[in-house]
Structure 1
Amino acid sequence: MIPVTLTSFDQKLGFPLTKQPITILQINLGKRCNLTCNHCHVEAGPKRTEELNHELTLELIELISRFPQIQTVDLTGGAPEMNYGFKPLVEAARSTGKQVIVRSNLTVYFVPGYQEIPEYCAHHQLRIIASLPCYLENNVEQMRGKGVYQDSIQAIQWLNRLGYGHTPELILDLVYNPSLPTTEKFNLPPEQSQLELAYKQYLKQQFDIDFNQLLTITNIPIGRTKFYLQHKKLENSYLEFLESNYNPNTITQLMCRNQLSIDYQGYIYDCDFNQMENLPARSASGKILTVSDLLAKNNLDLIETVQTASYCYGCTAGCGSSCGGALI
C-alpha cells in the first residue's frame, strides 16, 4: 500500500513524462538464473522456466535488423546467457553494427554448459555489465549467496585475460547496489566516481583486477526488494525516503525515455521495473503494445507518455539511477 503521505510521482513531476526517439532495446530473455539473489527485482532463480520462444526470437531479430535507429541491444534476465535466444539475438545485433550489452552475474561462467561464454562475449565484442554489489566479500555474499564473491573474482580475472578492461573494444563495467536496510536508516548509493576509485584500488591491490566503469544503482522497491521491505515493515518509509531525495535534474536523463523494455512474451514496457510490476507501455490510443505491433506499424515510436509509479522515485533520488548507473 502506498503511504498516504507520499506524493504521486505524476503530481511531483508536474507534467507528462514524454517518450523520446527510441535508441535502446532492452530484452529480458527470461527468468532462468543459477542464483537467487535477495535483492533481485526479477525474482529470477534456478527453478524459473519462463523464457523467450522461437517465434518471438525471430520477431526480435526482425526488429533489430529493420530499425537502424536502435543503437544498443541490452540483454538481461535472469542470467541472459542461460535463456533461449541469447546467441541468435547477439549475432543479429552485431551483424548490423549495434552495441550489445550483456548483464551478467559472472558466476554463470562456471555452470556446466556455459563455460564458453567469456570467449563468446570477447569474440563478438560484447559489453559486459556485471553485478558486484560491493568490493568486500561479506557484503556480496549476504546479498547473493555463499561462494558468489570468489566465483565473481575468478570470472573477472578470466575476462581480464581475454582483454576485458584493457582492450578498448572489450568493455567490462561493474554494478554496485546498496545493502538492503535493516532499519529506517536508509542510504542512497555513494557518489559514483569516488566509489569507482575505491573499487578499482581494492580490486587491483587484492586481485590484480581491472575494469572500465562502476555503475551505481539504487535498490528499487519491487520484486524481492519489495518483499524484503514489506517483511521488515520498511516499504512505506523507504518510499518516503526516496521521495524526500527527489532530484528534478535527473528527469532529462531517465532511461525510460529513449528505451523499450521487452519481456519474454513480447510485451513492451518503458523500463525493466515497469515490466516486473506489470505496467505495460501503451500507444496514444491506450492499446497495450507488443513486438508484433511495432513490426506491423513499422515504427518504434508509438508511445507518447511513459507509465509512472511510486517506485520511479528510486530512479530520481539523489544523483539518479538507471541501468547505466548515476544520471547526474
Structure 2
Amino acid sequence: MTTTPSTTINTNITPFHSQLNAPLTKQKIKVLQINLGKRCNLACTHCHVEASPKRTEELSTEICEQLIEVIHRFPQIKIVDLTGGAPEMNYGFKPLVAAARQHNKQVIVRSNLTIYFVEGFNDLPEYFAANKIRIVASMPCYLADNVDKMRGAGVFDDSIQALQWLNQVGYGIDPSLILDLVYNPQLPTSEKFSLTPDQNKLEQDYKTFLQKHFNIVFNNLFTITNLPVGRTKLYLERKKLETSYLQFLELHFNPHTVENLMCRNQLSVDYLGNIYDCDFNQMMDLPAKTLNGDALTIAKLIEAGSLDLINEIQTANYCYGCTAGCGSSCSGALV
C-alpha cells in the first residue's frame, strides 16, 4: 500500500495543536492582508504562493469593491498589507492603496523590487513615496550568487538598482518612507538543517555590506523561515526531506513565540475573497472558520458587520515553521 507524503508526516510529527496548552485564539483584527493574485514577473524557487509570469489568477472587480468597503467601514484595521505574486501587477493594487491612504491606514507592499524595471511599472518608486507606502522587499541574501540561485539570473543586480532608486526618492532616509528587507535561508540540500540567523546581527551584516559596496541604506531586516508550503514543499518532497525538516522545526518549537504569531490579529484574503488566518493557510486551502464551523468570505464579514467572527485559529504541522527558534512572521522574528 502506498503512503502519501502527508500521511507519512502525520505519523512522524506531533500534531502542532498538541504542543499548545490551549486552542490558538484570535485577537481583535488589526491587519488586513490581501493576496491580489498569482501574477508575477519572477518564479522564485522558494515561493510558497507558486507565483510566476505564467499565472493569470488575480483579484476581480467585485472582490476589490468589497475589500474597499471593508477598509472604509472598519476603523479597527490599522494596516493593509498587499501581497501576491507581485501585488503591483495584479488588478486592484492602486485602488486599494487609495482607499487605505484615504483612511490613514498604513499600507505595506511586499515587493520583489525587479518589477520596477518591467514596462508599465516604472512609476512605482515615486508612486510608493507619494503615498508613503511601507516597502517590504525580498532580498534573501546580500550575495549575488545566492540571490540569483533562489530568484533567477540577474535578479540581484536588478534588486540593487531598485534599492538605489528607492534611496534616491527618500526610502531608508526619510523617517516616513520605510524600507525593510526580507531574508530567507537557502533551501536545504541535506538533513543539515539550520534555523534563521540572529535577526539583529544579520541586519547589521546586511547594512554594512550594502552600504560599503552599493551605498544602500534601509530600515529593518526581517528573517523569515521557509515553511513547507508551495514550491518549498514540492522541493522538500522531491529531495525526500519534508518529514525530517518538519521534525527539525518541531524539535526547536519555542512556546514563547505563540503570543506574537501574526495569525492572531490578521485576516488573510485571497483573490477570490475567501478568508484565512494566514497566508500559509491560504496556500494550503485551510480556511478560517466561525464557531459554527462556517468558512468565511469578505462578503460574509460585510453582511455580519464584524471582522471578529473567528474564535479559534486553524493550525497545521507547518505552523512549526513560525514557532521554531526565535519565530517567524511577515515582520520577521517574534522573540
Give structure 1 stretches of 5+ with no counterpart.
none
Residue equivalent to 1:80: 87
Residue equivalent to 1:59: 66
Residue equivalent to 2:142: 135
Give runs of aligned pairs for residues 5-84 of structure 1, distance below 5 A: 5-84=12-91
Q: 1:3 Cα deviation (Å)?
A: 4.6
Residue equivalent to 1:174: 181
Q: 1:13 Cα deviation (Å)?
A: 1.1
Q: How far apart in 1 are the matches of 2:195 and 2:32?
A: 27
Q: How far apart in 2 are the matches of 1:188 and 1:79?
A: 27
Q: 1:167 Cα deviation (Å)?
A: 0.3
Structure 1 residue matching 2:110: 3-state secondary structure: strand
Aligned residue type for 1:89: L
Q: 1:4 Cα deviation (Å)?
A: 1.8
Q: Deviations over 1:25-65 (max 9, x none)?
A: 00000000000000000000001000001011010000001
Corresponding residue pairs, total: 328
Give the TM-score, by structure 1 length: 0.99
- Among 292, 306, 309, the alignment partner of 2:299 is 292
Structure 1 residue matching 2:159: 3-state secondary structure: helix
- Among 100, 110, 114, the alignment partner of 2:121 is 114
Q: Deviations over 1:147-186 (max 9, x none)?
A: 0000000000000000000001100000000000000000
Asked if 1:254 corresponds to 2:274, the answer is no
For the 8 Å contact 2:12–2:243, the answer to whether it is kept is no
- Among 84, 105, 114, the alignment partner of 2:112 is 105
Q: 1:292 Cα deviation (Å)?
A: 0.4
Structure 2 residue matching 1:4: 3-state secondary structure: helix
Q: Deviations over 1:174-213 (max 9, x none)?
A: 0000000000000111000000000000000000000000
Q: Deviations over 1:268-287 (max 9, x none)?
A: 00000000000000111111
Q: 1:15 Cα deviation (Å)?
A: 1.4
Give runs of aligned pairs for residues 233-312 of structure 1, distance below 5 A: 233-312=240-319
Q: Percent of aligned positions with the same letter in both sequences?
A: 65
Asked if 1:226 corresponds to 2:233, the answer is yes
Structure 1 stretches of 4+ with a deviation exceeding 6 A read none
Residue equivalent to 1:324: 331
Q: How far apart in 1 are the matches of 2:12 and 2:141?
A: 33
Q: 1:14 Cα deviation (Å)?
A: 2.9
CA RMSD of aligned residues (A): 0.5
Q: How far apart in 1 are the matches of 2:11 and 2:300?
A: 38
Q: How far apart in 2 are the matches of 1:243 and 1:132?
A: 26
Give the TM-score, by structure 2 length: 0.97
Aligned residue type for 1:287: D
Structure 1 residue matching 2:326: 3-state secondary structure: coil
Asked if 1:157 corresponds to 2:146, the answer is no
